[in-house]
Amino acid sequence: MKIIRTIAEMKEISQKYRRSSETVGFVPTMGYLHEGHLTLMKRAREENSIVVASIFVNPLQFGPNEDFDAYPRDFKRDESLAESAQIDYLFYPDVEDMYPDEMTVQINVKNRADVLCGRKRIGHFNGVAMVLMKLFSIIQPNNVYFGLKDAQQVAVVDGMIRDFNLPVQLRTVETVREEDGLAKSSRNVYLTEKERKEAPALYQSLIAAKEKIISGERNPQVIISAVKDFLQKNTNGKVEYVEIYSFPDMKQLDCLEGKFIMALAVQYSKARLIDNLIIEL
């Protein structure tokens, strides 16, 4: 595995592969790698001759009161984990290289970003879209890998690929969980011991809701109330939202049908956790 520190070097490598018959798989991350990230990398490894992963904590996707400075970082640890996933290149650029000057163009994500996390995290998906457009253009991948843990991100990337006719294929990977059901996340390290014990309630509330839906409940409001109720009884974290939308277009539903997402966010003392289930009836 080769570590690439500059855009110039990464572009040189990408151009070489673009002219060859290799297929390039790309896994963007913000580092502090865990089994979720490694599953994306392993899938990319199986499906491509060349695998590039990036580690870049993107300042544009953090709001002024969010955890950009406190976001966990440990490059040495990430380097050995990425190596174990047998990727070819680890792209690890500086903020100054990625955003040297004030930008001329902004990306404004219009649809799919005004619900769930996007409603609270104003500008978050604009920042995500901007960094991904840059990374896709630097790396020129054939296939890009994203986790359904961040399902709204998947919906936005899906729309962006279509809107800009980007020559990349979106591949998604199911959420990787701890044994007790908690979705793996770099932010889990910021849970207190007590919060960590309660946090599986997020997934449990979604599973209980799924069972209600399987038994025939079709009213989204009834399901949302049940999930909120479950969370209030089983964790002291502050429920930020519980919402249901069609997936991936994120439209309001009066009756549960087709493919939809049940998603939630809970704020703990130092970590804000999200989880979701996508169901197809």
Q: Map residues 149-178 to x or -, x wherever contact with ligand AMP holds by CB under 6 A.
A: xx----------------------x-xx--
Extract the tokens encoding 181: 């059901």
For ligand AMP, what does the binding mask look like between residues 13 and 52, x meaning CB under 6 A?
----------------xx-----xx-xx------------
Q: Which stretch binds ligand AMP (CB under 6 A): 8-16, 183-191, 219-227, 269-277?
A: 183-191
Q: Across the strands, what pairs with 242?
A: 264
Pairwise CA distance, residues 224 & 262, whole Å: 8
Find the binder of ligand AMP among 14, 140, 142, 185 (CB under 6 A). Answer: 185
> For residue 178, which phi and psi values (nearest 5 degrees)?
-70, 170
- Is 34 among the residues known to form the active site? no
Q: What strands lie across the sheet with 169-173, from one edge to the other?
A: 2-4, 89-91, 50-55, 24-29, 143-147, 169-173
Within 115-154, the residues that bind ligand AMP by CB under 6 A are 146-147, 149-150
Exposed / middle / buried, residue 219 (Cβ in 10 Å: 0-12, 13-18, 19+): middle
CB 175 → ligand AMP: shortest distance, Å?
Answer: 4
- Indicate the helix (H) or strand (E) that contains 154: helix 151-163
Give yes or no for residue 237 binding ligand AMP (CB under 6 A). Answer: no
Can you read off the two tokens belonging to residue 86? Answer: 């047998």
Residue ranges that bind ligand AMP, judged by CB under 6 A: 29-30, 36-37, 39-40, 146-147, 149-150, 173, 175-176, 183-186
Residues assigned a catalytic role: 37
